[in-house]
Amino acid sequence: MAQSITMPKLGLTMTEGTISKWNKAEGDAVAVGEVLFVVSTDKLTYEYQSEVSGVLLKIEVPENCSIAVGGEVALVGEAGEVVSSRSAPPRTSDGKETSVAPAAVSSAASSAGKKKVVVIGGGPGGYVCAIRLAQLGADVTLVERERVGGTCLNVGCIPTKALVKSAELYGEMKHGADFGVLCSGLRVDWAAVQNRKNAVVEQLVDGVSGLLTANKVAVVSGEAHFLSSSAVEVSGRTIQADAFVIAAGSAPVIPAIPGIESEGIVTSTEALSFAKLPEKLLIVGGGVIGMEFACLYATLGVDVTVVEMMPAILPPADEEMGVIVRKRMEALGVKIHTSCKVTGFDSISSGVMTHVLDSLGRELQFSSDKVLLSIGRRADTAALNLDAAGVKAERGRIAVNKKMETSVRNIYAIGDCCSPIMLAHVASAEGEVAAENIMGASCDMDYKTVPSCVYTLPEMAWVGMTEKAAVETGRKIKVGRFPLIGNGKSLIMNETDGMVKIIADEKYGEILGVHIVGPHATDLIVEGALALRLEATADEIISTVHAHPTVGEALAEATLDLQGRAIHLPPQA
C-alpha cells in the first residue's frame, strides 16, 4: 500500500512550505535516508530525507509550488502500484492553485535551460556569489559544511566588532565625567557582552539564510569533495553542475613551536568566547587581528602583551600611521614587543609561560592565563580533493586569474582560499566578478581600491599606496597631513589623537593613497576608495564641499595641505 509523504512542520510558525527542488523523479527507487526533495520557507531551506523505501509513484507538489504543512507531497510504494490523486492542490509561487500535471509543471518551472552552478562555501564570498548568480538567472546550489556566513559572520568580522563595541562603550563610560556624565558602579558583565555578541551573529546568519531562500538558492548541508571537474560529492550524494565556485575560506596558521599544544593557547575563534575575562593575555602577532583583540581586551581591563616578529605592528600600514596606533595602544596599557620571536611555550599552574627571543638575542619570558595565536591564516582547501578536478593550488592556495578562473574551465575560486587579500569585502567583490563571468560577462577583479580597516580604538583605515610604496615607484609625490586636534568634530568626541594623511602625485595631483587614524576611520575611508576609483585629483576633493562639523572635513584639510593651504593649520614657514 502506497505511503503518503507530507509537508513537514519545520518550526513553530511554519504553516506551509515550497518544494524548491526534487532530487528524484517519478519511477525512481527511494531508500530510507535519501534526500527526496528540498523545502524552502521564508526562514530556512531544508533537505527532506525519506523515512520510507520503495518507488516514487507520484509527485503531488511540483518544484516551485507550495503546500500547507501536513499536505501530501508525494506517494511512495511498490513498483506498478496504482495510486489515487492528491489530497489538496498545491499552489504556484504567485499563490495560484495548479491543476497542471505535476511532471509538466516541474519541467516548465524548474531549472530546465538554466545554467546549474554549485558554490562551495557560504561565507561572504560564497553567499554573495550565489545570490548574484541567482539574480543573473542561474540554478544555484550552495554547499556549506558549518553555517552560512562563514568565518566573517560566525567567528570573524562580526563577533569581533560586536565585542569591540562593548569595549568602546565601557571605555567611554569610564571617561563619562569628561563629558559631564557621571556613572557609579560601572562594571563589565562578560556573560551579557557574550550574549549580545551572539545575538548579533545569529541575526545576521538568519538574515543571510533568508536572503538565500528568497533568491531560490538551494542550500545543501555537508562537506563538498570533487569527484571530477563536473561533479562533487556531498554526504554521499553526487551533485553535477555546469560550473563550480570554490569559496572554501581559510583557517588560522598554527606554527610548529615547541609547547604549542599547551592548554590555554587559543586561536581567534576561541578568543571570541572565553568563559570569563582572562587576567593576563599574551598575543602572538601584532597584525590586524592581533591588535584588534589587544585593544578590545585591554579596554575591558585585561593585562595584554603583544609579541610581534616584525619591527612594527600592523606591518602593511603606513609606518607613520602605525606609530600613532601603537602609542594609543601603549597608553591603554598594552605592552608591545616588536622584533621578537616566540621560541616556545610551557604549561604552568596559572596558564602558559611564553619564551621569547628579542632582537638583541636576549631571552624573555611572559606568563599569562591565555595565549592568542594570530600570526596569519591559510587557505583551507584540504578537504576539497582538488586533484580529482585537476584544480592547481600551491600549498592549498588555489591559483586564479583576474576573472577568478582556476586552471580548470568552468571552475572558479574566490575569497580567502585564493585571494591575495584575505578580507570579507574582497571575497564578496571576487564573488560578484566570478558570477558575472560564469553568466557570460567578461569582468576583471581590481584590487587597487580595496580599503583596509583596523577596528582598534581609535580606528585605522587606508586605501592605495603608503608613502614608502609611492616613493618606491620612483614618481615625485606630495604628502598632505591634518592632525585631528584641529578638527571640531574630533574635539567634540574627545578623540583628537589621530591624523589624516593623503599622498598624491606631485605633477598631476592624482590621489595615490589615503590614510586615516581616528573616529569612524573605517567609514570615512570610502571617500578615499572612491577617489582612487575615479582617479580623482586633489583639486577635485578640495572642490567637493565637506559637511561641518564632521571628521570628514579632516580629509579635505589634509588635501588642502598638499597645496600648503590648509585653513585650520598655522601657515607653513
User: Which of the residues are catalytic?
Assistant: 548
Dist. CA 441–CA 89, nearest whole Å: 41
User: What residues numbered 348-387 form the site for ligand FAD, per CB under 6 A?
Assistant: 380, 383-384
Are the C-beta atoms of residues 66 and 234 closer than 8 Å to each other?
no
Dist. CA 45–CA 130, nearest whole Å: 14
Stretch of 138-146, 184-192, 457-465, 506-514 lying at the interface with ligand FAD (CB under 6 A): 138-146
User: What residues numbered 545-564 form the site for ligand FAD, per CB under 6 A?
Assistant: none
First-to-last C-alpha distance (Å) of the chain = 98
| Contact with ligand FAD (CB under 6 A) among 47, 60, 63, 144 | 144
Residue with cell 554573495: 128
Burial of 306 (0-12, 13-18, 19+ CB in 10 A): buried
- Backbone dihedral region for residue 333 (phi beyond 0: left; psi -120 to 50: alpha; all else: beta): left
Give me the amino acid identity at 286: G
Using the minimum distance from each CB to ligand FAD, give the nearer residue, 64 or 213: 213
User: Least distance to ligand FAD from the beta carbon of 117, Å?
Assistant: 15
CA 136, 133, 402, 470 torsion: positive or negative? positive
121 binds ligand FAD (CB under 6 A): yes
User: What residues numbered 215-244 form the site for ligand FAD, per CB under 6 A?
Assistant: 223-224
Which residue in 426, 312, 300 sits closest to 359, CA to CA? 312
Q: Helix or strand or coil: residue 197? A: helix
User: Least distance to ligand FAD from the beta carbon of 453, Å?
Assistant: 6
User: What residues numbered 237-296 form the site for ligand FAD, per CB under 6 A?
Assistant: 247-250, 268, 289
- Spell out the residues 6+ positions from residue 212 whose beta carbon is closer than 8 angstroms to its own: 45, 122, 127, 130, 131, 142, 148, 219
Are the C-beta atoms of residues 20 and 38 closer than 8 Å to each other?
yes
Using the minimum distance from each CB to ligand FAD, give the nearer residue, 324 or 386: 386
Using the minimum distance from each CB to ligand FAD, give the nearer residue, 453 or 541: 453
Measured in whole angstroms, the distance separating CA 340 from the mean position of its chain's CA atoms is 30
| Residues binding ligand FAD: number (CB under 6 A) | 35
Are the C-beta atoms of residues 17 and 10 closer than 8 Å to each other?
yes
151 binds ligand FAD (CB under 6 A): yes
Using the minimum distance from each CB to ligand FAD, give the nearer residue, 311 or 316: 316
Could you give the string, one character per residue 186-215, with x where binding to ligand FAD holds by CB under 6 A and - elsewhere?
Answer: ------------------------------
| Contact with ligand FAD (CB under 6 A) among 208, 334, 424, 434 | 424
| Contact with ligand FAD (CB under 6 A) among 17, 62, 71, 124 | 124
User: Least distance to ligand FAD from the beta carbon of 389, Å?
Assistant: 12
Stretch of 36-44, 53-61, 131-139, 142-150 lying at the interface with ligand FAD (CB under 6 A): 142-150
Q: Which residues bind ligand FAD (CB under 6 A)?
A: 120-126, 143-146, 150-152, 156-157, 160, 223-224, 247-250, 268, 289, 380, 383-384, 415-416, 422-425, 427
